[in-house]
Structure 1
Amino acid sequence: MPTTHVVELGTATVTKRYRSWDLGQPEREWRALTLLAEHAPALAPEPLRYAPAETPPSVTMSRLPGEPLSAPLTDAQLTGLVEAMTACQSAIPAADLAALPPRLLHPLDALKKLRAWSQRVPTPPDGPAAAALDGARDWLGRPHLDTVFAAEPPPVLGTGDGNLANVLWDGSRARLVDFEFSGRGDRAYELAEVAEHVSAKNVLAPGDLLDRFELTASEKIRLPECRRLLAVFWLLALLSDDPDRPRNPPGTLVHQAEHLLTLL
């Protein structure tokens, strides 16, 4: 799978050199690391050097101990994940959050992109994937979604990537890495992004994660729509996968299709 950056590992440092930066990826990463270093120390790598004028631009940060979360997930690891997500979403002051640009692929932008993408994807043969794509197209066309995703809930720091590989476990604590798509987000969408990420399949049941959070009444209403939106994203991504170079294990598409149909 093509990567968005090149990583150079030192004994105590990590340097990311970005393959593209047209959406401000290095700046987004540096800004998030700086804010977290100030308001949630040790939750993420410490920012050490920002070189925006280099080609390609780079960010150097401290190297954290630990391994990415993977199956089987222990109760301690799930607790650590919840604590890390909560700290990331609650530590940054409101004034700093208000000054952030929206995270990449924010909900309304995702809705618009998925509507177009869903029409470009060829319909597969009869089966769960075909039924799920039909359901996704129907759901994406519902006008009320524009209002739902144009809303501005109380902001949080959105990491921009729900991949569990970005959560490092050192045996006692979970820490977060990879903030190049970060920005201003909202809590329901950020929770949904982790719960629905394809990396969580066979590692983390969505309910096991989401039940650990106390949601407001408005978040309880918003969360199911965010989950559907992100589940549609992964269906379309899997349908667009190169069959000669699959990036996911056999059966992932059928699993995702059946999961989406349940959500819909």
Structure 2
Amino acid sequence: MATQSSTHGIAMSADKVVKTYASWDRGEHEQEWRALNLLAQYAPDLAPLPLEADLQAEPPVIVMSRLDGVPLRGQAVTPEQIEAMAEAMKTLHESVPESVVAGLAPSPWNPSVAVAKARRLRAEEPYLGEDPLVLRAFAVGAEWLDSSPLDELAAATVTPVLGLSDGNLANYLWDGKRVRMVDWEDSGRSDRAFELAEVIEHISRLDGNFDGSVLLEHLDLPAVETARVQIFRCLLAFSWLCTLGPGGLFFERNPAGSLETQANQVIRIL
């Protein structure tokens, strides 16, 4: 796995983490500090505890407690770990009162933004090489995107949840018994179905072995919400496909064969 660019610097001691932001134009530091404080109040064992912050500094700095555990990215995620992920996400989505979540700003990565991104990528017709499988996957995804009522889906009224809004498996730490969550700079008011789809389809799954569909088996979702998860999965899977071609942002960052693996995923779920 090639080294990825980072939006922050991290300095760790035995019990503390000092996070210094390399970019903060979207209010990343404020979003993370707000989420950490909310979780300290409503779900205190799910995320790092906020210790102190200088949000006005340039660059901004947040000091938080250090969590034990190893990231789930880059390994074969076991059924036990997936069940623990489900418990962590259930805690996140149910602990903060709806009235509190309703007062938060939307996460910067949300259904409307995801729909717009997918449409932009589709219109650009990115170069994906010459593999017939990959070209077929793009064609299938583009046809689905053009014919699906995604604006209505994105605008639907749902019960809001506090979302991490980043499905990168590196943000989920396993300590041998439970999963806890880090990196809250993109957090905000979100849609549970979108949050689940974001985790299941995130490209970080290609670094190891993660069957995100098992996650849904541990969550008692109503049929309508399960259907929303599936549509968001299709949307996100197609968008990832578009970024994995030669010259694309993620072509050099992911394991060999990622483009073909993603093409199979798009065809499978569509």
Equivalent residues in 2 for 1:250-261, closer than 5 Å: 250-261=256-267
Match of 1:90 among 94, 100, 103: 94
Compared CA separation, residues 78 and 126, structure 1 to 2 (3 A): closer
- Mapped to 1, the partners of 2:148 and 2:217 lie a distance apart of 29
Q: Find the residue that maps to 1:89 and give its secondary structure.
A: helix
Q: Which moved more, 1:28-37 or 1:124-133?
A: 124-133
Match of 2:218 among 205, 212, 221: 212
Percent identity between matched residues is: 42
Equivalent residues in 2 for 1:21-40, closer than 5 Å: 21-40=24-43
- CA deviations over 1:220-259 (Å, ceiling 9, x no partner): 221111111111221122221365xx11111111000111
- Mapped to 2, the partners of 1:135 and 1:210 lie a distance apart of 25
Choose between structure 1 and 2 for higher RCO, CA contacts under 8 A separated by at least 6 residues: 2
Compared CA separation, residues 47 and 107, structure 1 to 2 (3 A): same
Q: Which moved more, 1:168-177 or 1:229-238?
A: 229-238
Match of 2:6 among 3, 17, 20: 3
- Give yes or no for the alignment of 1:102 onto 2:106: yes
Paired residue type of 1:32: A
Following TM superposition, by how much is the alpha carbon of 1:93 offset from its aligned partner in structure 2, in angstroms?
0.5
Compared CA separation, residues 144 and 75, structure 1 to 2 (3 A): closer
User: Match of 1:128?
Assistant: 133
- CA deviations over 1:109-156 (Å, ceiling 9, x no partner): 110122112222225324222222222222222351111111131111
* C-alpha contact 1:108 1:146 (8 A) present in aligned 2: yes
- Mapped to 2, the partners of 1:236 and 1:180 lie a distance apart of 25
The normalised TM-score by structure 2 is 0.92
* Matched positions, count: 262
- Give yes or no for the alignment of 1:118 onto 2:126: no
Q: Find the residue that maps to 1:172 and give its secondary structure.
A: coil
* C-alpha contact 1:158 1:183 (8 A) present in aligned 2: yes
Match of 1:241 among 249, 263, 267: 249
Following TM superposition, by how much is the alpha carbon of 1:26 offset from its aligned partner in structure 2, in angstroms?
0.6
* C-alpha contact 2:243 2:250 (8 A) present in aligned 1: no
Q: Deviation above 3 Å: which 4+ runs of structure 1?
A: none
- Mapped to 2, the partners of 1:119 and 1:250 lie a distance apart of 26
Paired residue type of 2:230: P
Equivalent residues in 2 for 1:1-264, closer than 5 Å: 1-69=4-72, 70-120=74-124, 121-142=126-147, 144-201=149-206, 202-239=208-245, 240-241=248-249, 246-264=252-270
* C-alpha contact 1:100 1:184 (8 A) present in aligned 2: yes
Instruction: Provide structure 1 residue ranges, at least 5 long, that are not aligned to the other structure.
Output: none
- Mapped to 2, the partners of 1:66 and 1:203 lie a distance apart of 18
C-alpha RMSD of matched pairs (Å): 1.6
The normalised TM-score by structure 1 is 0.94
* C-alpha contact 1:6 1:16 (8 A) present in aligned 2: yes
* C-alpha contact 1:188 1:222 (8 A) present in aligned 2: yes
* C-alpha contact 1:195 1:210 (8 A) present in aligned 2: no
- Mapped to 2, the partners of 1:211 and 1:260 lie a distance apart of 21
